[in-house]
Copies of this chain bind each other. A is one copy, B any other.
Amino acid sequence: MVGARSILPIMKQATIYSIAQALEVSASTVSRAFSRPDLVKPEVRERVLATARELGYAPNRAARGLATGRTGLYGLLVPDVTNPFFPPLIRAIQQAAARVDAGVLLVDSEGSGAAETALVSRIKAQVDGLLVASPRLATAKLKEALGAVPSVIINRAAQGLATVVCDNTAALREAATHLHDLGHRRFALMRGPSASWAAGRRAHAIRSWAQEAGVSLAELGHYEAVFVDGRRAAAQIVESGATAVFAFDDLMAAGVIAGLSDLGETVPRDRSIIGCDDVLLARTMTPGLTTVTAPLEELGRQSVLALHGLLEQRPVPNVQLQGTLTVRGTTGPPP
């Protein structure tokens, strides 16, 4: 029979000491049973773990953090949670982080570079490392804000920082060829935000393809990566005379399609549209959007792996993943 530890019904949260006392071992042993299990005799370890469970013990993260200097938290900074590109990424990151026993502290910068600076300095003290997705901030400023915090930049190349990016060049060229084969000769490109690294890359890919293929390319924008901007741009598309249009991303593509519909046009009958990223929206539209699918799961997994590596002082290579073309219903032969 275990002696009554307390008459009160309110039992304080168990600590390594309560376990140590109950088992008549030292607190160090209990601590080791959790953090360095290999250092404690299997038999003892079992008993510790058992009573820990009984007492509902959970290690106090703050105490551990104070002792080790680690918080067990990864900060995740995104420019806009409501942009459908990010939720699948967030989910993948959250899962991967859980696998290395880290929590995810989520912060939204609302698309503002200035806010990024402020947020980074606000949270860098409470996390072990930072995952920065699609930063708006110039690389130099970003580096300055990050200081010495181990960080991984997602979706942007940045000299001197660990990065995980998705390269859509090949898929975009494939898409262009697909349209060309269908008979299109007049192309338009709706450029994304000028501060977006991905926007520049995508524009470059399409521009150089057009040049090689010797077809005309009207460059429109820059636009914000939102639905309404795409919608408003429809008139310019019509004016450009292009029959095949590359939107910066799916949101914008959906906007253009809506805008064209406002003008009495139907896609793909009157014009073909291609998006980028393959967000939920692209699959739920009718017809489905032809787009370049980003490996978001893998992007998230790799970012966490990279950050984890950084924290273990391992050298981490920059990783580059490939987007793939997904043909759905918004591309067809020109009218």
Contact = CB atoms under 8 A, between A and B. Distances in A.
A281 B281 contact: yes
Nearest to A65: B62
A104 B106 contact: yes
B82 A87 contact: yes
Interface stretch (A155-163, A182-190, A283-291): A283-291
Nearest to A266: B286
A141 to B, nearest CB: 17
A82 B88 contact: yes
Interface stretch (A19-27, A44-52, A253-261, A314-322): A253-261
A60 interface: yes
A126 B82 contact: no
Interface string A85-101: 01110110011000000
Contacts of A280: 82, 84, 227, 281
Contact of A125 (B58, B105, B261, B284): B58
A226 to B, nearest CB: 10
A63 interface: yes
Contacts of A65: 61-62, 65
Given A61-B126, A82-B87, A90-B106, A227 B284 contact: yes
Q: Is the interface of A mostly helix, strand, loop or mixed?
A: helix
A185 to B, nearest CB: 27
Most chain B CB inside 10 Å of its own CB: which residue of A82, A94, A258: A82
Contacts of A13: 125
B82 A108 contact: no
A105 B108 contact: no
B284 A255 contact: yes
A58 B122 CA distance: 8
B251 A284 contact: yes
Contact of A71 (B62, B81, B283, B284): B62
A261 B94 CA distance: 36
A257 B288 CA distance: 12
A105 B73 contact: yes
Contact of A81 (B91, B108, B251): B91
A276 B73 CA distance: 35
A123 interface: yes
25 contacts: A58-B124, A61-B65, A62-B62, A62-B65, A62-B66, A73-B105, A81-B87, A81-B91, A81-B94, A82-B87, A82-B88, A84-B87, A84-B280, A86-B87, A90-B106, A90-B108, A94-B108, A95-B108, A103-B123, A104-B105, A104-B106, A227-B283, A227-B284, A255-B284, A258-B286
Interface of A: 13, 58-63, 65-66, 71-73, 81-82, 84, 86-88, 90-91, 94-95, 103-108, 121, 123-126, 227, 251, 254-255, 257-258, 261, 280-281, 283-286
